[in-house]
Amino acid sequence: MFKGANVLVTGAGGFLGTNIVKRLVAEGGHVRGTLHGRAPQFEHPIIDYVKTDLTLMADCRQVVEGMDYVFMCAANTSGAAVMATQPLAHVTPNVVMNTQMLEASYQAKIKKFLFISSSAAYPPSGDRPVAEEEMFEGDPYEAYFSVGWMKRYAEVLCRIYSEKIKDPMATVVIRPSNVYGPYDKFDFNRSHVTAALIRKVVERQDPLEVWGTGEDVRDLIYVDDFINAVMLAMANIETFNPVNIGFGEGCRVRDVLDTLLDVDGFSNAKVVVNPTKPSMIPIRLVDVSKAKTLFNFNPLTSLEMGLRKTLKWYRETHESKIHENDGACTVATAC
């Protein structure tokens, strides 16, 4: 689909953006990637990296010029600590960027626009997997209220551009569970729980602190599997039809840590839980049957295999920093 096509990836220096850029290069696409506050994590001579501010409409119009497809990965993101204390940090800049990129893409006659939403936008569903049609059946979980409604608003915009205007633009909306893997954020101020635990294990932190009780349940999907699903969705979805992407199974935060300790040989870790620190929704599971039906998506990477690959990558790319332990972790996340 993307061989020879002009493809824009916004947020190309981030976790998902970097992995999508790598895949598009492998598939023969001509890739333009936007950067804002960080350098690219993946370099290749055929990638055209452009520094932009997507809160400015002029920049949005400039980067979509001549493009065929857009992957909207740019977002202001962070972990539980910021979400709990500065909820609007996830709202205002993202609303502006999403709105302007959709309009600029439409004016540039983009063939297809992909938006990465979030399973955090769903209302609470207890201990059962939540299905796509439940998105607007109640408010998001209280801890996700602000970011959840921001994502919902962007989804409504995607539907408008796809269904409610003359000469519509095809939009693809993906609702991921918890994605982890290479190129993730590993700084404790902004990382999500899996990345934070990986860093703590590699650094052999003593004690190794887990925010919350360790009983929160998440659906973790390795980034290569997630990117496979993204590409399948772009190839197969032609109308507004949001789809959950996840592994299809839940695991406790403590189970993730136990797996990390086991595969990395950290047998004498002193683990402590800190229930006074911010945690998020106790259980979030997603129903992934729609992705299987629409484009036969099945994740291939087990939790153990994915964590092993991520540990290896982290050590290879952060080798010089591994022994620069910051001491006891003062900021961690569990979202």
pLDDT of 242-286, one tens digit each? 999 999 999 999 999 999 999 999 999 999 998 887 667 889 999
- How many beta carbons lie within 10 A of that of residue 98, not counting itself? 24
| Residue range 116-129: mean pLDDT, rounded | 95
Task: State the CB neighbour count (10 A cutoff) for residue 43.
Answer: 8
Candidates 183, 170, 197; CA nearest to 266 is: 197
* Token pair in block for residue 238: 């032609």
d(Cα 82, Cα 52) in Å, to the nearest integer? 24
Give percent above pLDDT 70 in the chain: 91
Q: What is the pTM of this model?
A: 0.91
Q: Tell me: the pLDDT tens digits for 63-76? A: 999 999 999 999 98
Query: What Rg, from alpha-carbon coordinates, does the chain have?
Result: 19
Sequence ranges of the chain with CATH classification 3.40.50.720: 6-180+222-245
All CATH 3.90.25.10 domain ranges of the chain, comma separated, are 193-218+249-284+302-321
Res. 331 pLDDT band, cuts 50 70 90? very low
Q: Are strands 217-218 and 251-252 parallel, antiparallel or unpaired?
A: antiparallel
CA distance linking residue 126 with residue 226, whole number of Å: 24
| 141-179: pLDDT as tens digits | 988 899 999 999 999 999 999 999 999 999 999 999 999
- CA 30 – CA 5 distance, rounded (Å): 6
The fold adopted by the segment(s) 193-218+249-284+302-321 is UDP-galactose 4-epimerase; domain 1 (3.90.25)
Question: 40 with 49: CB under 8 angstroms?
Answer: yes
- Considering the domain 6-180+222-245 in this protein, what is its CATH number? 3.40.50.720
Q: State how far the Cα of 158 lies from the Cα of 171, in Å rounded to an integer.
A: 6
* 3-class DSSP assignment, residue 95: helix
Looking at residues 82-108, what average pLDDT do you find? 87
- As a three-state string, the secondary structure of 176-241 is ECEEECCCCCCCCCCCCHHHHHHHHHHCCCCCEEEEECCCCEECEEEHHHHHHHHHHHHHHCCCCC
In whole angstroms, how far apart are CA 10 and each of 13, 221, 225? 8, 22, 20
Question: Is residue 233 a contact partner of residue 174, using CB atoms and an 8 Å limit?
Answer: yes
